[in-house]
Amino acid sequence: MKYTVITGASSGIGYETALTFAARGKNLVLAARRQANLEELRSRIEHQYPDVLVVLQAVDLSVADNVYAFYESLKEYEVETWINNAGFGNFATVGEQKLDKIQQLLHLNIEALTILSTLFVREYASKEGTQLINISSGGGYTVIADAVTYCASKFYVSAFTEGLALELKAKGLPMQAKVLAPAATETEFVLRSRDVDQFEYKGAVPKYHTAKEMAGFLLELYDSEKIVGIVDGLTYEFHLKDPIFQHATMARR
């Protein structure tokens, strides 16, 4: 009985990814802060895919102690795929950004993702068929004005995951590590980034994908042997690629 873990599953890409994997018959562990949203998602999955088992975990992963407790709570489940989707953005200049928000962003986007990835690799790297997929951003490969700190956090996600993928391959381990880099996607991202209650993508954003489309791209990445799935920021076409960053091998003494 194997499970796919998805963090940040209460809305957006995480929500649609849960539905996409449920359609494949994958049992799910869904984590997010909002219990009510998770309950609604579970009800929808159980109605559409009654054979799929769904476990819910209401947890704030921006708190380090919660991250370790969350992973430990899953010891009774065998995990096949781990998707680190939880994260949020920030639109503000460096000099004007709110530091309490930035601290939370760094804890969630970088710290929680690194801890969960590391724990998963330690336990499952030698098991056939396992995958780790970390959600980065087009801003994890291109710096965007007024989103410098957010982009820097996603550069970390991209570099960390690409490097991990190469480490796993170099050691001959069967686990695959992959990174998904969306461009503008119709989710709650802008609401949290700008600290606003409402935002309409239509008319305000020239090009964007729906969360359902991004979940489809994630599934393409999951099915492929490539390490990077990235949306072109100009054409909005989705591409599967080998590692994008330059990599060097350090000689062992």
For the chain, where are the alpha helices, taking DSSP H only? 12-23, 35-48, 64-72, 99-106, 113-124, 148-170, 189-194, 211-223
Is 109 contained in some domain? yes
| Residue 21 within a domain | yes
CATH number at residue 41: 3.40.50.720
Please give the residue range of the domain that contains residue 195: 2-241
Is the pTM higher than 0.85? The answer reads yes
Q: What is the pLDDT of residues 19-39, one digit of tens each?
A: 999 999 999 999 999 999 999
Residue 248 lies in a domain: no
Residue 228 lies in a domain: yes
Q: What's the total number of domains in the chain?
A: 1
Residues of the chain with pLDDT under 70: 250-253
Note the pLDDT of residue 203. Answer: 86
What was the pLDDT predicted at 250?
65
In a domain, 31, yes or no: yes
Tens digits of per-residue pLDDT, 76-112? 999 999 999 999 999 999 999 999 999 999 999 999 9
Q: What is the pLDDT of residue 212?
A: 97
pLDDT at 249: 78
**Domain-embedded: residue 144:** yes
Cα–Cα distance measured from residue 69 to residue 153, given in angstroms and rounded to the nearest whole number: 23
Rounded (10°) angle between helices 113-124 and 64-72 = 30
- Residue 242 DSSP label: S
| Burial 74-88, CB ≥16 within 10 A → b, else e | beeeebbbbbbbbbb
